[in-house]
Structure 1
Amino acid sequence: MVDSSSSAAAPGAGKPQVPPKPPNPVFKMMGLPNLRFRLPSRNWMIFWTITGSFASAIIYDRREKRRAQQKWCELVAHIAKEPLEVEQMRRKLTVYLAAPPGDGLRVARDHFKEYVKPILTAAALDYTVIEGRREGDVRAGAAEHIRKLRRKAGEPSTVVEEPSVEAAVLDMRERIGVKDEPAPKGDLVIGRHTWKEYVRGLHEGWLGPLDPPAAPVDHSVQENAEETMKDVAAGDQPEPTDQQGVSVTKLDDIKIDEDKTDEPKAEEKKQEDKPSKPAGRADAYITTADYPSAHLPPTLPQSFDSSIPIEFPHILGFLNTPIRMYRYLTQRYLAESIGREVAGIVLASAARPYRHESFSIDSELSEVSVDSSAPLDGPIGELPRGKYEQQAVLEGEEKEWHKSVHKRDEDDKERVWLDDIVLDPRIAARMKHSVLSPEDEARSKRIAEQKEYILGEERPAPVPFWKRMWINYGYGEDEETIRRKSILGNIDGEEGA
């Protein structure tokens, strides 16, 4: 009889068992465990692949973004080293920024500091910021800035300007003979919503009057006064009123309803909870319908300072997370585009008029010193009309505005953000857009290829990574800083020093 235990042999019994590899005695002496190198599991492979890919995309994008900004900063850095006379002030630009629709002003400020300010700082240019926290603030600020220039140029006005620190500083500079640098200025407008207000304020400042409009008349008070006069003429005794014209009723004639005493408080609470409405048209000096009948002021220049609209992509909402994630990983393209525009207005080497459907491509680029000889002071009916480039600038940003911004109230007569841009041909023809000249464009490419550096300087030798990290974290100094340091001798006169 055959033994059943011997017939049923265990599988793999013929293979010799390999003993585990003994641990390295060095690790054992150091107190380290026996480390076995093996591939991670499937879940860990998925985790590290996704995490590593996302981190690599961020690192690559930030590096390319830094390189793009460095290229445009090196392109304009020679302006900071140009000598300036003692009685001259550095050229100043004007920056217009407003809170994006549906968000706060801090987002616009961060966008300016991240993409625009580094290039202005590299060129050592001064700038003035006109901010707006709600719709209509930038329009009012831009129009008031132009009206001040017109009053200063000598146009008659009944407005008495209040004393301010800025006016006192400007007056003191004029007394001691300090003047601005004789160089072209410009305006940087951030975002489509700010651009709409900027164009509206430009028209209001140059075409509108210098004196503020009359206060609106309250027709209800006027009708009450007329009714009171009729009652007096008829022999009726008018109700007693206080000093403000409000009727005074005796306490005996008042019946208090306890159930309705809380209604006024509830109404007041509802009014407080409502968000603040955009700036209305009560403070507007001129409307878009009055453009054709407006007369040009005598101080209107033949051409305005150059202006550039800056991209400001801003989208809200949880469902737009994929779009926001893509933009977060591709900030290098935005830095390249904005850097080109800002460098063009900083260098101020070339400018072109905004395109019109009647313009030709050959007459697109012009020098900044070009003097427009077109008859821009004639009647508005004789000037060209049509589609202007200013109306289509950054038009795609309006589709990404929050849906709450597109809602109109019944009492809103005009909304600068929602209404179409209305241009007067006499003003639109005087606007210019700064661009890079072909020479500056070629030099920027050479800078990107590491073939050229700041004008008048040679590119320094590359610093190794370990040395750069050593310097950045405060353990050393670069050669440029050491060379600028003043070497002091033996001040105390000690021997052996």
Structure 2
Amino acid sequence: MSEVKEASGATPPRPRQIPAALRPLHWMGIPQGVLTWQPKLPSRNWTIFWTCLGSFTFLYYYDRKECRRIRAEYVERVRGLSEEVMQPSELPRRVQVYTAKYPGDDDYEAGVQYFKRYVKPVLVGAAVDYEIVSGTRLGGLARDLRDRIHSRRRNLAGVQPWDNKLGAAALPFSLTPAQALQRELDGAVVLIGRPALKEWAWALKEGWGTFIPAEPIDRDQQLAELLSEDNAFDEIFKEDVDNADAEVPLEKPAAPSQGFMLPSKVAFQGAKRSLPMGVPDAATSQSPVPEGTTPAPAPELPPMLPMPAQPPICFVDFTDLVGFRNIPRTMVNFFNRRKEVRNGGEAGLAIVLGNKNDAREFDVRPRGTVPSEPLQGGDLDWGVEEEAFYRPKFHRTLEIIAKERERYYNVLREELSASRELARGEREPTRSEKYERPRGEVELRQDRFQHERDWRNTEMGYEIAKTGVGVAWDDQWRGSLRVLRPRGPDESVPRKKYPDAPAEEQR
């Protein structure tokens, strides 16, 4: 008790006196607590927090500052091209930019954003035009380029006229086909990432190295005809329910005859069922084809090998880090964007300062020794290390499609049965069917056609981009492909000096 009393009766510490130099400030109204404040270090936890926050802030600021400086350096090295005077009949140089959907990433614009962020500023600084061709699905770029090459082959063979823009014939400076081809060769092909390289090479092989029909074909119409003769929409009777799974293929699409029936055929079959007995239908009333006669085969164009010279190629390294396991690398790259800016600047510099005359030959192994699996050697192995960062989900693409197809056909069979029962009046609609009428047979066929088209296109794209499969190659391409070489640190385009302009504008 005595100790408590002594503690309670202890005199409080004397307040800190205001320094003599600060006393006038006290009489001016500044509180005494402000004048007697003694700063001290924060606690351990606060020290760790402020240290980490300051470090990350400085890293971010320094990296973005360096990005602006590096980008400005590369733009300044090519700005002289944008100051050159062009004649009214001249067109700026144009390059083709190819980007493909990155395996495992749902954002198909990732490659386009990378190009616009790191390579485009250099092209804009040099007044170089560009055209982006982007694949929105796996294999989309390959299919687009293949169709373009087929159209080009028909143009060169004279079976299809050259495409002219509306009103181009009336323009005094419109390009002829020969001038348009020359302008294309004077440009370049920019490939963003290894997926774009694989799809581009596949399109070259399928476009120039195969037989094609002389007349343009509608691939959707072809698929519709192939899918119009299967048994997926055949009538399933009650005694055949046990064998329904065997009738409708679920594991994979049936041969080339599975799927969608055109609306005209659906209407024809409906009319055929309602014909009275004794009335011949259109199929039986036609005259038979005489024996010994076969329909004339459609004319085809042979492969063009060796293929014509292609614009010089520029490879742009691009790795799309997606997925949980790539989070550490993504965090490190967030504070090291200057590396991407420098890589994009080097690629842009090679595009602007390079041309088909000083480009090097495509580096590949000797003739007959190029394997079909990586490592293939030379330029065919460009970006092969990117495949190690693909999401594991991408490797299960075929398995995922098989499960989706099986689940879809199970639901389709139920919807088709309900739709036909209601259409025939075999039963009354349920409470839910009164509010939401089941889809008709024509709608179900169209929906199935769209699903099958997407599945088949995805399967084709997976076979092109999957790991363990190399880049498509043909030995007859030698001499037709060239690659833009990297530029040295001293190569640039000097800016013009105008004597009447102020010195500040000349710099």
- Is the contact between residue 95 and residue 188 of structure 2 (CA under 8 Å) also seen in structure 1? yes
Q: C-alpha root-mean-square deviation of aligned residues, in Å?
A: 4.1
Bigger helix fraction: 2
Partner AA of 2:70 in structure 1: A
Where does residue 322 of structure 1 map in the other structure? Answer: 328
Report the 3-state secondary structure (helix = DSSP H, G, I; strand = E; otherwise coil) of the residue aligned with 2:393.
coil
Please point out which of 490, 493, 500 is paired with 1:442: 490
The farther-off stretch of 306-315 and 143-152 is 143-152
Q: Displacement, 1:77?
A: 1.4
Q: Displacement, 1:407?
A: 1.6
Where does residue 337 of structure 2 map in the other structure? Answer: 331
Q: 2:114 matched to 1:111?
A: yes
- Show structure 1 runs of 5+ residues with no match: 225-240, 251-292, 359-381, 445-452, 459-477, 484-497
Where does residue 465 of structure 2 map in the other structure? Answer: 417
Number of aligned residue pairs: 357
Structure 1: distance between partners of 2:128 and 2:209: 30
Structure 1: distance between partners of 2:167 and 2:73: 36
Per-residue CA deviation, residues 125-147 of structure 1 (Å, 9 max, x unaligned), is 11111111111211122223333
Q: Displacement, 1:220?
A: 7.8
Report the 3-state secondary structure (helix = DSSP H, G, I; strand = E; otherwise coil) of the residue aligned with 2:268.
coil
Partner AA of 2:59 in structure 1: A
Please point out which of 194, 198, 201 is paired with 1:196: 198
Q: Displacement, 1:75?
A: 1.7
Q: Displacement, 1:326?
A: 0.5
Structure 2: distance between partners of 1:432 and 1:169: 35
Q: 2:123 matched to 1:120?
A: yes
Q: What is the 5 A alignment of 1:353-368?
A: 353-358=361-366
Partner AA of 1:57 in structure 2: L
Structure 2 CA distance for partners of 1:151 and 1:116, relative to 1, 3 Å: same
Where does residue 269 of structure 2 map in the other structure? Answer: 245
- Is the contact between residue 123 and residue 346 of structure 1 (CA under 8 Å) also seen in structure 2? yes
Structure 1: distance between partners of 2:478 and 2:27: 82
Q: 2:28 matched to 1:20?
A: no
Q: Percent identity?
A: 24
Report the 3-state secondary structure (helix = DSSP H, G, I; strand = E; otherwise coil) of the residue aligned with 1:79.
helix
Structure 2: distance between partners of 1:320 and 1:191: 17
- Is the contact between residue 87 and residue 177 of structure 1 (CA under 8 Å) also seen in structure 2? no
The farther-off stretch of 335-344 and 215-224 is 215-224
Q: 2:392 matched to 1:403?
A: yes
- Is the contact between residue 100 and residue 199 of structure 2 (CA under 8 Å) also seen in structure 1? no
Partner AA of 1:353 in structure 2: E
Please point out which of 145, 148, 151 is paired with 2:148: 145
Structure 2: distance between partners of 1:427 and 1:24: 90
- Show structure 2 runs of 5+ residues with no match: 233-264, 275-300, 403-455
Report the 3-state secondary structure (helix = DSSP H, G, I; strand = E; otherwise coil) of the residue aligned with 1:128.
strand
Structure 2: distance between partners of 1:248 and 1:329: 70
Where does residue 56 of structure 2 map in the other structure? Answer: 54
Q: What is the 5 A alignment of 1:178-327?
A: 184-211=186-213, 215=222, 218=226, 221=229, 243-245=267-269, 295-296=303-304, 300-301=307-308, 303-327=309-333
Structure 2 CA distance for partners of 1:173 and 1:30, relative to 1, 3 Å: farther
Structure 1: distance between partners of 2:194 and 2:351: 18
Where does residue 168 of structure 1 map in the other structure? Answer: 166
Structure 1: distance between partners of 2:28 and 2:475: 87
Structure 2 CA distance for partners of 1:25 and 1:210, relative to 1, 3 Å: farther
Report the 3-state secondary structure (helix = DSSP H, G, I; strand = E; otherwise coil) of the residue aligned with 1:327.
helix
TM-score for both structures, normalised by structure 2: 0.60
Report the 3-state secondary structure (helix = DSSP H, G, I; strand = E; otherwise coil) of the residue aligned with 2:134.
strand
Q: 2:84 matched to 1:79?
A: no
Structure 1: distance between partners of 2:26 and 2:314: 65
Where does residue 234 of structure 1 map in the other structure? Answer: none
Structure 1: distance between partners of 2:175 and 2:326: 55
Q: Displacement, 1:176?
A: 5.0
Report the 3-state secondary structure (helix = DSSP H, G, I; strand = E; otherwise coil) of the residue aligned with 2:127.
coil
